[in-house]
Homo-oligomer: A and B are copies of this chain.
Amino acid sequence: MSRQPLLGRDAYRHWQTLPTQWADNDVYGHVNNTVHYRWFDTLVNSWLIAQGLLDIEHGDPIGLVVETGCRYAASLTYPGSVDLGLRLDRLGSSSVTYRIGVFAADSAEPAAEGHFSHVYVGRESRRPVPLPQAWRDRLELLA
C-alpha cells in the first residue's frame, strides 16, 4: 500500500459534485468501495465531453482504461453528496493519468483518492497513437 498522505482540496483543478444514491450503500451502511470508480468514470468523461475531446460514437483516437486504483480514508454515506476533484497526474506520449480526490460535502479532509489511466489507440488499429496537440493543451489545464 502506498503511504503518501492523500492530497487536499487545493491540489485539484476541476470539480464536480455528485449526490450519493440509495443503492450506493452496502450492507455496512456506507458507500461501497466500487462506487468510487463509477464516480471516477463519470468525472473524467464529463470533463472530456465538456472540453469537446470525447466523441463516444466517432472519436479517434479512443481511450482504453488500463489502470485504476483508489485509497480509502473515510467512509461516505447515502444520503449525502461528494465533491470530486480532478487533476492531471502524468501526461505521456499516448497515455494520461488522472488523480481524483473524493471529499464529503463541506469536508476539507479527503475521504478517498483515486487514479485513472487511459492509453489512447486508433479507432481501427487499436494500437497506441500519440495524443493530438489539441488534447495535450486541454489536459495541461488540469496540471
Contacts and interface: CB of A to CB of B under 8 A. Distances in A.
Interface residues of A, number: 41
Interface string A26-51: 11110011100111011001100110
Given A18-B19, A34-B23, A1 B41 contact: no
Given A29-B57, A34-B34, A49-B79, A42 B69 contact: no
A67 interface: yes
Contact of A67 (B1, B18, B28, B34): B1
A6 to B, nearest CB: 11
B68 A33 contact: yes
Given A29-B56, A79-B49, A41 B66 contact: no
A78 interface: yes
A143 interface: no
Interface of A: 1-2, 18-19, 21-23, 25-29, 32-34, 37-39, 41-42, 45-46, 49-50, 56-57, 62, 64-72, 78-79, 95, 97, 117
